Amino acid sequence: MTADNELNGGQVIVDYLVREKVPYVFGLCGHGNISFIDALYERSSDIKTISVHHESVAGFMADVYYRITGQPTATFTSCGPGSANMPICLANAFFDSVPFLAVTGNVPTGQFNRGAFQETYRHYQADFPSTVRAYCKRVFQPTRGDMVPLAVRQAWKTMVTGRPGPVVLDVPFDIFKEAAATETPRPEEWSANISCRCGADPEGVAKAVDMLLAAKRPVILVGQGVKYGAAASDLLRLAERLQIPVACSASGMGAMPSDHPLALGLVARNGHYQANHAARQADVLLALGVRFDDRTSSSWLPGYSFTIPPTQLIHVDIDPDEIARNYPVALGLMADVRTFLRQVLAEADRRSVKPGALARKAWLDDIAGYRKAWDAFVARGFQVDTTPIHPQRAAHEIDKALPEDAILVSDIGIHHNWLLQYCNPRRPDSLVGSMGFGPMGFGVAGVLGAKLAAPDRPCVSVCGDGAFFMHASVLGTAVEYNIPVVWVVWNNYAYASIRGLQRGYLEGRELATDFRHPETGKPYNPDFAAMARAAGIEGVSVDRAADLADAVRAGIATGRPYLIDANIGADMNPGGAGVWELPGLGQSKPAFGDRFRAC
C-alpha cells in the first residue's frame, strides 16, 4: 500500500499515459489487471477505457488509431491467456512499424516460480516476455514499485524513437498496487523533445541529386515511411520539381494522390503495368521508406517489379537494417525520409534546377503509353454485371461511393489485392492495410480505431467473410461505444486467397479453403446481415453490383454502425504485371506484359 502522497505502479502508468495525451486505452479485464483498471477508473475523466471482446481487437484498434493520428495509445490485458491473445496484434504493429504500449498483467512477484494460476513458469519465472520477444521492439518488466517510473518512460521513448514499434510493459500483479513514486516522469523531459528526423550525410545528398539529374528513366518508389513520416507534401514537391514519376508499394499507396499525373500506382506481383514496367526499366530508382518485400518485388525475380542491377538503387530509410537487405545499392542513406526530401529540395534550389530544363518528356510519354495499355486491358471488368458481383466491379463501386475524406481499412485476403488495384486513394491515410504480418482481423477491428481517431470522417472496413466470422465480436464493441463504422463483408464463401493458391499452384486440389453446407454441398456462411441485426446493428445483403455503391453511401449516411453482406465472386484473381513465387511450387505468370530483360 502507498503512503498518502505516493502513487502506486498502476497510478504512475495511467498518469504517464495522461501526460502523453493518450485519449484511449483498449483492453480486456482479468484478475491480473484489475488493479490497473482500478487506476484507470480513478482517471476516467482524463482517459477513456474501451473494453473489447477479444484482446487482439484492442491491439488492432490501437494500431489503426496511430496510423490515422500519429498518436500512440495503449492496451491492457491480463496475465496468462489474456495477454497470450496479444502476439498477433503486436506482431502486426511491429512489422508495420506502428507503436502502441501493451500493458500486460503478470502473476505476483511473491508467486514467481511457483506455478501460480496463469504463470508461464516452465523455463523461467513469469516468462510472458519470452513469448513476445520476437514480436515487439522491447519488453520491460518492473519487479518493484519504484522501478515503474523508469520502465514506463523508457518504454514510451523506445516505442516512438527511431523506427517506431510496439513495446510491452509487463507488470506483476502486486506492482500495480505497490508504492512507486511521488511524481510521474514528465514527457517533456524524457520523450517529447527527442527528434529522430535525422538527415542524410550531405555528400550522399549531393550524390543522390547528381544521380537523379543525370537519369533518363528515373522512378521514385515510396513505402509507408513516407506516409507515417508525414512526408507526402515534400514528396509531391520533389516529384513535381524534378518531374519524376512516383510508384508505391502497397503500404505507400495514397502517399501520392492517385489522380496526380506523376502517380504510377502500385508496384507489386499484382501491380499496375505502368508502375511495374516503369520501375523495372528505371535507370535510377529512388526508394524512400520501403523495404522491398517479396510481394512488392515479385519474389525478387528480376524483370517483373525491378531489375536491380542494372537499375541503380538509391535506398533511403530510417532503419539501416532495411538498406541493402534485398538489393544491392548504388547509394544507401540512413535518414528520415521527410528530412531527406527537404535536403534534396534545398540542393535543387542551390543548383537552380528548373523543371523545364529536364529532358523527361520521352520517358513520361512512354509511361503514358503503358498506362493506356493497362487501362484498356482492365476496362471490361468495370462493366461486368453478374451475381455474384465481379470483384473488380465491387472494388470500383466501393471506391466510387467513398467521399474524399473517407478511411478504408482493408482486411487480409484476396479482397485486399482487388482494393489495392482498383481503389484510388487520394490521401496518405485513405487506404489502410497490413503488409508485414498480415493477420486476418486487422481490418475488421482496426476500423473501430480509425473511427475513434477521426470521428468526423466516414470509416469503412472491407473484410473477408473468413476474417469477419473470426472477429464478429466487434459488432458488440461498436454498439457498446456507439462507433459508427461500416463493414462491407466481401462474402465469397471461402478463404478465397488461399483457395486461389490451390488452384494456381496445386492443380486445383482444394481442401479446407471453402465453406459448404454438409447436406446440400452448397456454399455456406452465416447470414452476416442477420448477425448484425441480432447484435443491434443494421445489416443488409447485396447481390448486384449496381446496388453496392448505394449501400455503402446509405451505411455511411446512417451515422450508426452498419453492415453490408456483399455476395462477391471468388473464381478470379486480380491480374497484375508482376509474379509471385512459392518456392517448390512454382511461379505465377504476369496477367499483362512480359518480363523485362535489360540489354
Ligand X SMILES: Cc1ncc(C[n+]2csc(CCOP(=O)(O)OP(=O)(O)O)c2C)c(N)n1
Q: Which residues bind ligand X (CB under 6 A)?
A: 412-415, 438-440, 464-467, 490, 492, 494-498
Distance CA 487, CA 409 (A): 9
588 binds, among ligand X, Mg ion, none (CB under 5 to 8 A by kind): none
Residue nearest ligand X (C-beta atom): 464
Distance CA 108, CA 525 (A): 44
Closest distance to ligand X from the beta carbon of 412 (Å): 5
Closest distance to Mg ion from the beta carbon of 520 (Å): 19
412 binds, among Mg ion, ligand X, none (CB under 5 to 8 A by kind): ligand X
30 binds, among ligand X, Mg ion, none (CB under 5 to 8 A by kind): none
Q: Which is nearer to ligand X, 123 or 509 (CB)?
A: 509
C-alpha cell, 385: 454485371
**CA distances for 268 relative to 118, 153, 276, 301, angstroms:** 44, 40, 7, 12
Residue closest to 26 by CA, chosen among 98, 67, 80, 86: 86
Distance CA 539, CA 536 (A): 9
- 406 and 454 Cβ atoms separated by less than 8 Å: no
Closest distance to ligand X from the beta carbon of 81 (Å): 17
165 binds, among Mg ion, ligand X, none (CB under 5 to 8 A by kind): none
- Exposed, middle or buried, 321 (CB in 10 Å: 0-12/13-18/19+)? exposed
If phi > 0 it is left, if psi is from -120 to 50 it is alpha, else beta; for residue 43 that is alpha
Q: Which is nearer to ligand X, 91 or 126 (CB)?
A: 91
Binding site for Mg ion (CB under 5 A): 464-466, 492, 494, 496
Distance CA 466, CA 470 (A): 6
Q: What is the DSSP string of 104-138?
A: EEE--GGGTTTT-TT---SSSTT-HHHHHGGGSSE
Closest distance to ligand X from the beta carbon of 465 (Å): 5
Distance CA 355, CA 495 (A): 49
C-alpha cell, 7: 502513487
Q: Which is nearer to Mg ion, 142 or 464 (CB)?
A: 464
- β-strand 312-317 against 284-288: which pairing, if any? parallel
Closest distance to ligand X from the beta carbon of 483 (Å): 21
Determine the angle formed by the axes of helices 9-19 and 148-160, rounding to 10 degrees: 30
Q: Which is nearer to ligand X, 218 or 574 (CB)?
A: 574
Residue nearest Mg ion (C-beta atom): 464
590 binds, among ligand X, Mg ion, none (CB under 5 to 8 A by kind): none
Closest distance to ligand X from the beta carbon of 531 (Å): 15
Closest distance to ligand X from the beta carbon of 398 (Å): 13
**CA distances for 61 relative to 27, 54, 184, 260, angstroms:** 10, 11, 26, 31
Closest distance to ligand X from the beta carbon of 490 (Å): 5
What H or E segment, with its residue span, contains residue 370?
helix 361-378
Distance CA 52, CA 481 (A): 10
Closest distance to ligand X from the beta carbon of 98 (Å): 17
17 binds, among ligand X, Mg ion, none (CB under 5 to 8 A by kind): none
Q: Which is nearer to ligand X, 33 or 56 (CB)?
A: 56
Q: Which is nearer to ligand X, 253 or 496 (CB)?
A: 496
438 binds, among ligand X, Mg ion, none (CB under 5 to 8 A by kind): ligand X
Q: Which is nearer to ligand X, 18 or 470 (CB)?
A: 470
Q: Which is nearer to ligand X, 344 or 494 (CB)?
A: 494
227 binds, among ligand X, Mg ion, none (CB under 5 to 8 A by kind): none
Distance CA 445, CA 376 (A): 37
Q: Which is nearer to Mg ion, 266 or 496 (CB)?
A: 496
415 binds, among ligand X, Mg ion, none (CB under 5 to 8 A by kind): ligand X
